[in-house]
Structure 1
Amino acid sequence: MAKDTKSNSRGWLKGVLSNQSQPEQNNINMEEDVSQEMIEESSIDEEFKEFEQSETTSKKNLLSKDDQDKVALDLIVSLENMLHDRQLIQYKNKGLESQLYSANEMIGRLKHSQVKKEQILLDKDKEIRELESNLTNKQMSYDQLLEDFKDYQSSSKIEFGNITNQLEKETNKYNKLKEESTNKQYEQMMLIKDFEEKIRDLEVENHKVVEQYKQSQDEKAELMQTINDFTDRLSFSFSPKTTTSTTTE
Structure 2
Amino acid sequence: MTLPLNRIQLLQRRAWKGVFKQEHDNNRDLALINAYLNGNEEAGMQLAESYLDVFSHILHNPTKPPHRGRMVKGKLNLNYQDYEDMFQELLYQFFKLIEEFDPSYGKPFEHFIRATLHQRFYNRYFADLLEDKSKVIDSPFDKTLLNSYEQNIFLEEENNTSAKHIRLYQAFNKLTKVQRQILTLSVLKGYSHREIAKELGCSVNFVKVNKHRALEKLRNLLGGE
Considering only CA atoms, is the larger Rg found in Structure 1 or Structure 2?
Answer: 1
User: What is the TM-score when the length of structure 1 is the normalising length?
Assistant: 0.26
User: What is the TM-score when the length of structure 2 is the normalising length?
Assistant: 0.28
